Amino acid sequence: MSQPETDMPLVLVADDDADIRELVRYRLERSGYEVATAVDGEQAERLALERLPALCVFDVMMPKLDGYELTRRLRAREETRAMPIILLTARACYVRARPMPRASSTMPVRARAAAARENGGRRFESVLLR
């Protein structure tokens, strides 16, 4: 299933909603990235291990394997431990919390806690993949 190497960084997008998946794919490709897509967490895990993308964008709620468990599994493997992962959700469950010094106060509480743990307490920085 391996594809030819390109100079464009690879981003893996996994979402069970075809409209969201295609919108994210379209925007990333227009910005110059190569994009691989998956329709569920199991397919995303296989692609992540085969292709080792520069960035992963996962839906939180997917069939077979949700975004949280997928992230845990990839973090447990040496070859994917440092892979940047963004978790997305269309669910309107944001909680206003007291501002935290290392995470956005508009992130869902569960995601903010996971982000702080995964980032080792460091502040978040923007990363250009090129």
Q: Is the pLDDT of residue 116 over 90?
A: no
DSSP for 11-30, written as a single string:
EEEE-S-HHHHHHHHHHHHH
- Residue 29: C-alpha distances to residues 14, 23, 38, 105 (Å): 15, 10, 16, 30
Q: What is the pTM of this model?
A: 0.68
SS3 call for 94: coil
Query: What is the reported pLDDT for 54?
Result: 96
Domain ranges of the chain: 10-91, 94-122
Tokens describing residue 2? 């391996």
Tell me the CATH architecture of domain 10-91: 3-Layer(aba) Sandwich (3.40)
Tell me the pLDDT tens digit for each residue of 49-105: 999 999 999 999 999 999 999 999 999 999 999 999 999 887 654 444 444 444 444
Tell me the pLDDT tens digit for each residue of 6-42: 689 999 999 999 999 999 999 999 999 999 999 999 9
- Residue 7: C-alpha distances to residues 3, 12, 69 (Å): 13, 16, 30
